[in-house]
Each structure stands twice: as C-alpha cells, then as structure tokens.
C-alpha cells in the first residue's frame, strides 16, 4: 500500500523544522558569545586602566603628591582622635609619606565626609592610594553606567565619551574625591523617582563638594519642600547623621576644628581657577565677600528657574543646566571638581546625536583640557580658568532650540 502525500511530506517538514531550530540555536549561541566577549573586553580594559592608574599613583615619589594624601593624613589623624584639619599635625604625616612641598596639603572637605578618609587612614600610604583609586574608578564607572540607563540604554555607546571627559581623567590623575560627588549627583538623578529614600542617601555624597553645587543644593531643598518628597529628606538626614556620627565619635570637637579651615578657603589665601576668584582678584585678594557674589546671583537665578518650571519640573530635564551654572558660579573649586557636570555633557551629546549635530565643538574643547591634564598642569592653575565657561557655553549651543523639549528617558529609573 502506498504512503499518502501527507505521510510522505511529514519527514521533510520535520527536517526543515529541525534545521531552523539548529540555526536559531546557533544564532542565539553566537549572540550570547558576542555579548560575553564584549563584557570580557570591557572588564579587561577597566582592569588595565585601573592597574595603570594605580601603579602611577602608588609609585615611589608619586603617592604623596596627589590630592589623596590630604585625605589619608586626615583619616590617620582622626583615628588617633586628633584634629584632621590642623596643618601642623598634617604636615609631618605627609612628609613621612614622601611629601616634599613647603606647605601642608590640608583637606577642606566638611566633617561628614571624613568616614571615607578613615577607611584610607587605616592603611599604609601606598595601599591606601590603591584603595582610594579603586573607589574613584568604581564611582566613575557606576555613574556612567547609570547615566546610560537614564538615557534608555541606547546602542550607540555614546556614554563611553564620559571616560574621555577631561575632568573625569583629571579626577583619576590628581586622586581627589570629586568622583564621589559625581556618584552622589547621578545617584540622586537615577533614584529620585523610584527610590526616593536611596536618592536622599546619595545627597551625602553629593555634598562631598558643597561649594561646587550651591544653586543645585538650594533648588533641591526648595523642591523637597514644594513637592513634599519627605522620603528624600529622610534619607538625606539619616545618611548625614550616620556620616557625622562616625566623625563625632572619633573627634567630638570636629566642627570647631573645621571652621578655621573653611574660613581659610574663602579668605583669599587660596586661589582657584574659577570666575569667582577672577572677580575677587579685581577687587583685591582680601575682599572675601566678592568671592560669593556669583554664587548668590546663581542662587537667585536658580530659584527663578525653578519657579518658572515648577509645574513640570524634571530633574533629568532641568538638572543639567542647573549643574553647569552651579559649577560656573562656585566660590572656589578645582578642575577635577568639574566632573559633576558630566550628566549635562552627556545629555548634550545625546541631543546632538538625536538631531544629527556635530560633536566637533565638544571634541576640541575636551581635547584642549585633556592636554592640560596630560602635561600635568596643576589643578589649581589659572590655565583651567576657561573650562567652566566652555562646558556651559557648549551645552547651551548643543541644546539650542530643543532644551525645553528634550526629556531624558526616565522609565529605567524605576528598575
């Protein structure tokens, strides 16, 4: 008896299905393998970069001349229940680590940031430098990753330009603590909707460099009150309380120790590459009040800016410009501190990509600043006086006509 046509065709159909399944499995395996290789390459690049930076930072005669040495000395003194802001006590410690400058490098960060210094102070200078570098790199990588998520994980990988941003590179080269401020800013932007308490905790890191973000912090406080986002406030209070408890346990008089140091930062004895310092020099180095005039004007502008957009305020839309203005009017800051404007720079980059606008302007400005860092121009040098104006100007130029319409994807913030 002959087979029916249906019975004859059945094996052929089965063979085609099996072939299609095998092809799909092969493609799936190839996709997984490709992703795994990308992750592996990325990890290798990060590991090599970290190794190079760590070797450079921990090599003989180098560790003691990074900004890190001030944080290590402060942590070591605080562990001994001594004054971490006392230049007379800081100087011998830094000398013992190989510091050769004529004056002590005293940390100017407020007491609630000392818990990070304590972790470094527990180690020897070389080991502490490696540990500090690990924290900085982790902060930068985490921040850029979160910014990529905020923008909706676009496949063009433009977020990797964040690693080439000159202040990012400077932050690793000079070994300061500005990377923690960036992590605080980005963490707040990332979690302020979905996890407000966690966003509040990030404010502790955001406040690592308070003088750099005065208008931003002012609007943040007003926003909390107006929107009644008290979980953000609770997270900030609890985080600040825990950070302060650590410092106060080691040194109950820590605030009275800090105040003279704060006055010294604004008394005209410290010149930094900022518009505020430039203005102060016009009136005389001892005209301390002039140094805060741009910040006061910036604060007034920030409140008006918030009032105008209060009904539709979105930190991921309005925050970038606020960050840039805050850094521009800072009473004192150093070039690595400008890393906190990275969210604004990446927002402008994505604006350009969406509208097919050239990134040549950003590339030229960034390359010029990178050359200064590459040739080890000191972070306090006046050669960096132009950078805050450049970042602000390029952002305004890159987002012209679309600034009010451009809203970063916020759906990922709930993940």
Calpha distance 104→88 (Å, rounded): 8
Q: Residue 54 has what pLDDT?
A: 54
User: In which element (H, E) is residue 44 found?
Assistant: helix 5-58
pLDDT confidence of residue 62? 60
What is the structure's pLDDT at 126? 83
φ and ψ at residue 209, rounded to 5 degrees: -125, 70
- pLDDT computed for residue 381 by the predictor: 81
Give the separation between CA 357 and CA 351, rounded to whole angstroms: 8
What is the band of 411 on the pLDDT scale with cuts at 50, 70, 90?
very low
The DSSP secondary-structure symbol of 4 reads P
* pLDDT the model gives residue 238: 95
Look at 27-36, 40-49, 215-224 and tell me which has the smallest mean pLDDT: 40-49
The first and second tokens of residue 301, run together, are 């502008």
For residues 239-268, average pLDDT: 83
- Which is more confident, 66 or 388? 388
- The model's pTM: 0.83
Q: Is the pLDDT of residue 403 over 80?
A: no
Q: In which element (H, E) is residue 356 found?
A: none
The secondary structure of residue 221, as a DSSP letter, is H
| pLDDT average, residue stretch 323-352 | 93
Residue 47 burial (10 A CB sphere; 0-12, 13-18, 19+)? exposed
pLDDT at 263: 65
What mean pLDDT is predicted for residues 162-177? 88
pLDDT at 102: 79
CA nearest 207: which of 180, 175, 186? 180
CA distance 115 to 185: 19
pLDDT at 22: 65
Mean pLDDT, the chain, rounded, equals 83
Assign 96 a pLDDT band (cuts: 50, 70, 90): confident
Q: CB of 319 within 8 A of CB of 340?
A: no
Of the ranges 86-90, 156-160, 194-198, the best mean pLDDT one:
194-198
The full set of domain ranges for the chain reads: 37-258+272-405
Q: Report the pLDDT value the prediction gives residue 129, as an integer from 0 to 100.
A: 85
d(CA 178, CA 339): 7
Q: Residue 192 — very low, low, confident or very high, per pLDDT cuts 50/70/90?
A: very high
Most confident range, picked from 150-164, 219-233, 378-392: 219-233
Q: What is the pLDDT of residues 254-283, one digit of tens each?
A: 999 998 877 665 544 566 888 888 887 777
Q: Quick one: what percent of the chain has pLDDT higher than 70?
A: 79
In angstroms, the CA 275 to CA 329 distance is: 7
What digits encode the pLDDT tens for the residues 307-322?
Answer: 999 988 999 999 999 9
Closest C-alpha among 218, 228, 188, 192 to residue 304: 218
pLDDT in tens, 373-398: 888 888 878 889 999 999 999 999 99
| Residue 406 pLDDT grade (very low, low, confident, very high; cuts 50, 70, 90) | very low
- Cβ pair 77, 90 in contact under 8 A: yes
pLDDT beyond 70 at 195: yes
DSSP 281-350: HHH-TT-HHHHTHHHHHHHHHHHHHHHHTGGG--HHHHHHHHHHHHHHT-SS--GGGGGGGHHHHHHHHH
What is the spatial distance between Cα 334 and Cα 273, in angstroms, rounded to a whole number?
6
Alpha helix positions (H), 252-292: 254-265, 275-283, 288-291
Q: Residue 395: helix, strand or coil by DSSP?
A: helix
- Identify the pLDDT of residue 147: 95
Task: Give the pLDDT score at 50.
Answer: 55
Q: Which residue has the tokens 């100087």?
A: 91
pLDDT in tens, 102-146: 788 888 888 998 998 998 889 888 888 888 888 998 999 999 999
């Amino acid at each position: 008896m002959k087979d029916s046509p249906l019975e004859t065709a059945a094996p052929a159909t089965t063979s085609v299905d099996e072939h299609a399944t095998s092809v799909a499995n092969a493609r799936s395996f190839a996709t997984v393998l490709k992703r795994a290789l990308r992750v592996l390459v990325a990890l290798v690049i990060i590991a090599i970069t970290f190794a190079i930076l760590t070797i450079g930072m921990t090599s003989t005669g180098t560790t003691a001349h990074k900004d890190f040495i001030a944080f290590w000395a402060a942590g070591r003194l605080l562990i001994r229940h001594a004054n971490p802001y006392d230049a007379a006590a800081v100087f011998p410690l830094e000398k013992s680590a190989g510091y050769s400058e004529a004056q002590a490098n005293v940390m100017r960060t407020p007491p609630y940031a000392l818990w990070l210094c304590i972790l470094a102070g527990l180690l020897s200078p070389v080991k502490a430098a490696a540990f500090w570098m690990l924290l900085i790199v982790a902060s930068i990588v985490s921040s850029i990753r979160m910014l990529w998520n905020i923008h909706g994980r676009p496949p063009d990988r433009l977020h990797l330009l964040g690693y080439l941003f000159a202040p990012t590179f400077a932050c690793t080269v000079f070994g300061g603590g500005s990377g923690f401020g960036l992590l605080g800013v980005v963490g707040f932007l990332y979690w302020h909707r979905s996890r407000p308490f966690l966003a509040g905790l990030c404010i502790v890191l955001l406040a690592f460099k308070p003088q750099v973000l005065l208008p931003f912090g002012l609007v943040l406080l007003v926003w909390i009150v107006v929107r009644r986002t008290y979980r953000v406030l609770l997270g900030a209070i609890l985080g600040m309380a825990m950070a302060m408890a650590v410092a106060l346990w080691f040194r109950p008089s820590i605030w009275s120790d800090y105040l003279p140091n704060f006055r010294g930062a604004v008394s005209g004895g410290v010149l930094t590459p900022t518009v505020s310092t430039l203005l102060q020099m016009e009136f005389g180095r001892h005209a301390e009040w002039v140094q805060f005039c741009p910040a006061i004007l910036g604060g007034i502008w920030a409140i008006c800016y918030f009032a105008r957009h209060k009904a539709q305020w979105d930190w991921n839309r309005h925050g970038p410009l606020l960050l840039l203005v805050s850094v521009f009017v800072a009473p004192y800051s150093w070039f690595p501190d400008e890393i906190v404007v990275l969210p604004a720079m990446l927002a402008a980059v994505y604006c350009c990509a969406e509208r097919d606008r050239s990134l040549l302007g950003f590339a030229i400005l960034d390359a010029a600043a990178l050359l200064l860092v590459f040739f080890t121009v000191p972070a306090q040098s006046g050669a960096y006086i132009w950078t805050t104006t450049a970042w602000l100007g390029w952002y305004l130029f890159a987002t012209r006509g679309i600034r009010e319409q451009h809203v970063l994807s916020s759906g990922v913030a709930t993940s």
